[in-house]
Structure 1
């Protein structure tokens, strides 16, 4: 069953890229305090993820903060090295906390995993965005089509805040 409003975010180990290399972080710790906007993408460097989804949250991070968001976080079924390179390539800086879900354990625990093996991608995350307060989902928008960034884009999140 997919993560829904009222659910607590799953607690699994993720990895975050740092200047000193990948560091483990529990999802409950990273997402469990304050107001968090979490968005998940099928993969770093893929067209909709790189051209629309991530850049929208980076460009409008200040607007999200003005609406009370403490943390903006992105998860993808990639390793921390790939997410670090993607963050650097897209000038993310400290606007978005990058959370590598290399084995798609968070996506699977959240019921937001998808089978991308038809495209040589294996298990990936569905594209979604969620507003989480103190570890509890307040709102979530999940795309029906992985290449769409409609209900999970920054504009949709801003309307929900």
Structure 2
């Protein structure tokens, strides 16, 4: 487990996530190799903020993100792959975003962003966050800290788009 939360300059961990079925493994590093992308994590599929704000905002602004240079988009949560697939269908993601399950919390632990949701959701989950990745290196990390990670203030699309402009200006 990471001793401190992920930060800019850290490498994307070499972890396996799941797409739709437990046998459909995805190596996260393979998705970002030689590419510019974004990733956003959330406590769980079908939960209020995640379903009302976070995922819908990334979907409705997909084209704007792509125009800003994003080649790969990943949404990840501590759920099983069947739940993530059902959530993708429910939200008509249609392949615009990779909807990946961190069913064993491999990524969550490696990034040091475990959140205790046992009283409400029954288990530990991933804190709400987002980041920009270039060729497997985090360029930005936006980790929500208010209310144990349940707030949605700094990990959204507006933050990512602003950071993309700043990175392009450098």
Alignment of 1:83-122 (within 5 A): 83-122=84-123
Relative to structure 2, which stretch is displaced further, 107-116 or 23-32?
23-32
Relative to structure 2, which stretch is displaced further, 139-148 or 53-62?
139-148
When the two chains are superposed, the root-mean-square deviation of aligned CA atoms in Å is 1.3
Deviation at 1:22, TM superposition (A): 5.0
Q: Which residue of 2 aligns with 1:124?
A: 125
CA distance in 2, matches of 1:82, 1:138: 30
SS of the residue aligned with 1:155? helix
Q: Is the 8 A contact 2:127 2:150 kept in 1?
A: no
Q: Indicate the structure (1 or 2) with the bigger Cα radius of gyration.
A: 2
SS of the residue aligned with 2:132? strand
| TM-score normalised by the chain length of structure 1 | 0.94
Name the structure where helix makes up a greater proportion of residues.
Answer: 2
Q: List structure 1 segments (4+ residues) > 4 angstroms apart after TM superposition.
A: none
Q: Which residue of 2 aligns with 1:147?
A: 150
Q: Is the 8 A contact 1:33 1:134 kept in 2?
A: yes
Deviation at 1:27, TM superposition (A): 1.5
Q: Which residue of 2 aligns with 1:13?
A: 16
| TM-score normalised by the chain length of structure 2 | 0.89
Unaligned runs of 5+ in 2: 165-170
Whether 1:133 aligns to 2:138 is no
SS of the residue aligned with 1:38? strand
Deviation at 1:121, TM superposition (A): 2.9
SS of the residue aligned with 2:107? helix
Q: Which residue of 1 aligns with 2:30?
A: 29
Deviation at 1:120, TM superposition (A): 3.6
Counting matched residue pairs gives 159
CA distance in 2, matches of 1:125, 1:32: 24
